[in-house]
A and B are shown apart, each in its own frame.
Chain A
């Protein structure tokens, strides 16, 4: 190991350590400030920067965790050194941390909230993709529709939610009051996507999720309609599918299509 490498490793350990070392032989002593105070500038700065970055990316979690939020961040920072050059990506492991670390794992809404916040965060600067419009889709010949396979935006995320997590995020975004945490009767799906430069999120209707899920799996249009038939009478299934399709196109969820 080179002496430069050794120096960097020792300084790294001093910054990551739980308590600032009072002395470190590699640091030059002088009469201006003691070594402990000098190292503390770096040790403190590291933690502040990581906490600030997390606060930026997890407003819903901040709202939900309330007074516990700072402690939660401290624990995550202590357990997870940052590995990515972009500090924004430091939050990528927060939901998984909340899944397994006590006492947070006993409050599963927190991990779910972190996943929602993170999906919104990464949709913000995901790759730009073209989106199809209604006029283009109208040109598809009627006999080709049953085999039509929709291609959806890659920056679209569907998250399974067991709690009213979206309400917390919405309240955080709009400066609203902290909602009351509620467990949903049935898990529901939250759709997160970006249209042009704006990130959106909304809860999917049960039937819509069945059809959209089939589209994401690459199933043809006939199979999407079959999914809706389980929820609607024969006469209303097709109009419902048309309405959904129109909504997906307007929301910019559809990139294009191909034929099975």
Chain B
């Protein structure tokens, strides 16, 4: 077991910041050590979102997590989006900035979804070049997250983990490993989630996401609207064994339970991880 060697801080156990929990979280932060914001919710000119954000900035370490970078799209990078993202990063000085290894639209149309890429040399070169562009613009390394997917492509020459690892190495960026998404895609495409973990370079992994999914008729649907499943907790244990001490958070995007339930899930993550980390120390 080893830990990340590429210079960003370890933040501990955190939650995704959602309006539904604003009041409760400020009133009692409890064991929540850091928060991840959805960047797009705060790329605004003024008003209440930025007032709340400032309050949380004063109390918690924050990280920015975007859904619109569209790093894999063949459309040009959105200059307006990048400028706003850079401005927000200057404003709140997050511990890091992340987005997804995907494309969200093409030909000027936005699908507002995390569309998978073909795992080809062409896509690899395209994405790595754009990550470097974004990192130059933001003046920091970014994290890319693996997405849940429902299609894979006949042209793919690499596995998803080989592709993710190669992007990280070639662009010199970091990885946000969503353990739930690894499980969902493994089930949907019939690969081994453990092979996936073994294929990701330890030193590149800066953050874990834990979340829940919905079982469809043939496919698992990544809804992020349910408690973390047993299978994902098991995979989390394997991830902790391989990657060591990695900042971990519960990501809930819909069907929000009371904050206490998310805190309990977060504590469960801590309870699983800490003995393994102590034994390894």
Chain A residues with CB under 8 Å of chain B are: 2-5, 7-9, 11-12, 15-16, 25-28, 30-35, 37-39, 41-42, 45-46, 49-50, 81-87, 124-129, 194, 197
Which residue of the partner chain, among A16, A32, A34, A45, contacts B109 with CB atoms under 8 Å? A16
Q: Are B47 and A125 in contact (CB under 8 A)?
A: yes
Q: Are B68 and A85 in contact (CB under 8 A)?
A: yes
Q: Are B48 and A82 in contact (CB under 8 A)?
A: no
Q: Are A41 and B221 in contact (CB under 8 A)?
A: yes
Distance (whole angstroms) from the CB of B4 to the closest CB of chain A = 30
Q: Are B156 and A46 in contact (CB under 8 A)?
A: no
Which residue of the partner chain, among A8, A31, A46, A194, contacts B113 with CB atoms under 8 Å? A46
Q: Are A46 and B111 in contact (CB under 8 A)?
A: yes
Q: Are B49 and A125 in contact (CB under 8 A)?
A: yes
User: If A41-B221, A85-B81 touch, does A4 touch B152 (CB 8 Å cutoff)?
Assistant: no
Q: Are A81 and B109 in contact (CB under 8 A)?
A: yes
User: If A27-B153, A125-B47, A126-B45 touch, does A4 touch B188 (CB 8 Å cutoff)?
Assistant: no
Among B172-220, those with CB < 8 Å from A are 188-190, 216-219
Q: Are B111 and A15 in contact (CB under 8 A)?
A: yes
Instruction: Give the total of B residues in contact with A, Cβ under 8 Å.
Output: 49
Determine the distance from Cα of A165 to Cα of B50 in the docked complex, in whole angstroms: 30
Q: Are B110 and A127 in contact (CB under 8 A)?
A: no
Q: Are A42 and B115 in contact (CB under 8 A)?
A: yes
Q: Are A26 and B155 in contact (CB under 8 A)?
A: yes
Q: Are A33 and B219 in contact (CB under 8 A)?
A: yes
Which residue of the partner chain, among A2, A3, A83, A125, contacts B48 with CB atoms under 8 Å? A125
Chain B residues with CB under 8 Å of chain A are: 40, 43-51, 68, 70, 73-74, 78, 81, 103-113, 115, 117-118, 120, 122-123, 126, 150-156, 188-190, 216-219, 221
Q: Are A28 and B106 in contact (CB under 8 A)?
A: no
Determine the distance from Cα of A5 to Cα of B104 in the docked complex, in whole angstroms: 13
Q: Are A41 and B153 in contact (CB under 8 A)?
A: no
Q: Are A124 and B218 in contact (CB under 8 A)?
A: no
Q: Are B74 and A5 in contact (CB under 8 A)?
A: yes
The 9 closest A-B pairs by CB, nearest first: A128-B46, A125-B44, A33-B218, A127-B45, A85-B68, A125-B47, A5-B74, A197-B48, A8-B106
Q: Are B111 and A125 in contact (CB under 8 A)?
A: no
- What are the residues of chain A within 8 A of B126 when measuring CB–CB? 2, 4
- What are the residues of chain B within 8 A of A33 when measuring CB–CB? 150, 188, 218-219
Distance (whole angstroms) from the CB of A24 to the closest CB of chain B = 8
Distance (whole angstroms) from the CB of A153 to the closest CB of chain B = 11
- What are the residues of chain B within 8 A of A129 when measuring CB–CB? 46
Known: A28-B156, A85-B110. 5 other contacts (CB 8 A): A25-B154, A32-B188, A39-B151, A85-B78, A127-B45
Q: Are A26 and B47 in contact (CB under 8 A)?
A: no
